[in-house]
Structure 1
Amino acid sequence: MNAPSVRAGQAPADTLASPLLRVVNLRKSYATPQGPLPVLRGIDLSLRAGETLALMGESGSGKSTLLHLVGALDRADGGEILLDGVDIARLSENARATLRREAIGIVFQQFNLVASLTVAENLAFQARLAGRYDPIWQARLTQRLGLERLVSRYPEQLSGGQQQRVAVGRALAVRPRLLLADEPTGNLDEAAGDAVMSLTLELVAETGCAFLMVTHSLRLAARLERRETLVAGALAAS
């Protein structure tokens, strides 16, 4: 199958009428010596461009698995994941890689910065891979994230909060259609976590991307527009 038609920074004309992300009857199991272990049991979920959603639940409820499936990092056993109408499950591996580079930004709890690259190089990393490096937008991100004096440093020379700000900037450098975050403040103290979350929400609003965040924190979840809770692989009734 050809590469997906979703492109960073491009919103369809009917954005207000149609969800950017639509998850339909999503199912995923993992093999164990005792047989298949169901992790996701028929998830239905939607998210519009510019909307923010916190996904909550106990450890083992399937939150990270759902995020990885939506981020095209893993394949589901059944169901659909539609991003601007493109079914991720039907894409080839090359097309999925293109989608991740161009239309999806991902922020992990562990930062995952490249140790051998400076702050400036880490910020530009995904955008350069996607052929979407924009020096004006990078300069704006650098300024908005408070990283101007740190651009020549390496990750090991940064605090945890500074590293996570670089990770957020890297994910947003391509102006993704969808930003995913898996416990993005889990390794930070409360003050640093709040600062990172505030900056992330400001930049999400500026870019107009959809934002799906996995978190255990009720306090952080309350800052997003919507909240859903996973219980044993299914969404709890609201």
Structure 2
Amino acid sequence: MLNVVDVTKSYPGADGPVAVLRGVSLTLMAGETLALTGESGSGKSTLLHLVGGLDTADGGRIVLEGTDLTPLGDGERARIRRTLVGVVFQQFNLIPSLNVAANISFQARLAGVSDRDWNAALADRLGLTPHLAKYPEQLSGGQQQRVAIGRTLAARPRLVLADEPTGNLDEKSGAAVLALMLDLVAETGAALLTVTHSQRLASRMDRRLLLEDGKAVAR
């Protein structure tokens, strides 16, 4: 599903380039879940953005289902994000002018794969059926994160990327949202790569990788 080989990434600094990733490698199989852990600034979100085609690596290769993302232009990376990859953000990133039903179907419509029955099933599993006509500002944080998960999975991505998916939720809401996300990812057969500071969340994944000094260390 995913093969990351010796990926490097630096950003400009006051005294020259600052290396964030120094040759990171990892693999992820279809249906597998993997947690990326590490201290703030260790490059976890940077790596997630590179895998999702939201940014480009300085060196190395990122191969997603046989396609090397490294040489692709913005348009081709955007196409892959629409068709193969789904992202769950910590900040939810819902569209405030759309109700819950429209937010859930948004990504799938962009990809041309919207399925009304699947959207309804997701809403039901996520406990959102009574809230489909509401707007994001009318929902709790946990409900908003459920909508974000529904939006991601509505397009049936092959790879789900989650950046601190429970970071803005209290422990009880976070545990419930995590359990639902893992159940639904397993049901769709997608692979899951998640960035987290939470050892509780990381312990629920099949494998864990620690990012340390710009390198990935198996845990």
1:144 — aligned with what? 125
* Aligned partner (choices 93, 118, 121) of residue 112 of structure 1: 93
Asked if 1 retains the 8 angstrom alpha-carbon contact of 2:208 and 2:218, the reply is: no
TM normalised by structure 1 equals 0.91
1:168 — aligned with what? 149
Matched, 1:79 2:60: yes
Letter in 2 for 1:46: T
Write the distance in 2 (CA, Å) between the matches of 1:52 and 1:237. 14
Write the distance in 2 (CA, Å) between the matches of 1:160 and 1:24. 36
The percentage of aligned residue pairs carrying the same residue is: 63
Q: CA deviation at 1:89?
A: 1.2
Q: CA RMSD in A?
A: 0.7
Could you report, residue by residue, the CA deviation over 1:177-224 in whole angstroms, capped at 9, with x for unpaired residues?
Answer: 000000010000000000100000000110000000000011111011
Which consecutive unaligned segments of at least 5 residues does structure 1 have?
1-19
Matched, 1:60 2:41: yes
Asked if 1 retains the 8 angstrom alpha-carbon contact of 2:84 and 2:157, the reply is: yes
Asked if 1 retains the 8 angstrom alpha-carbon contact of 2:94 and 2:103, the reply is: yes
1:13 — aligned with what? none
* Aligned partner (choices 183, 190, 193) of residue 164 of structure 2: 183
Asked if 2 retains the 8 angstrom alpha-carbon contact of 1:183 and 1:213, the reply is: yes
Q: CA deviation at 1:168?
A: 0.4
1:44 — aligned with what? 25
Q: CA deviation at 1:237?
A: 5.3
* Aligned partner (choices 171, 181, 193) of residue 212 of structure 1: 193
Could you say what secondary structure the match of 2:49 adopts? helix
After TM superposition, which residue ranges in structure 1, 4 or more long, deviate above 3 angstroms?
A: none
Could you say what secondary structure the match of 2:27 adopts? strand
Letter in 2 for 1:67: L
Write the distance in 1 (CA, Å) between the matches of 2:14 and 2:113. 45
2:77 — aligned with what? 96
Letter in 2 for 1:235: A
Letter in 2 for 1:163: Q
Write the distance in 2 (CA, Å) between the matches of 1:51 and 1:235. 18
User: May I ask how many residue pairs the two structures share in their alignment?
Assistant: 219
Write the distance in 1 (CA, Å) between the matches of 2:90 and 2:69. 24
Write the distance in 2 (CA, Å) between the matches of 1:110 and 1:43. 26
Q: 1:237 to 1:180 in 2, by over 3 A?
A: closer
Matched, 1:155 2:160: no
Asked if 2 retains the 8 angstrom alpha-carbon contact of 1:60 and 1:232, the reply is: no
Asked if 2 retains the 8 angstrom alpha-carbon contact of 1:29 and 1:38, the reply is: yes
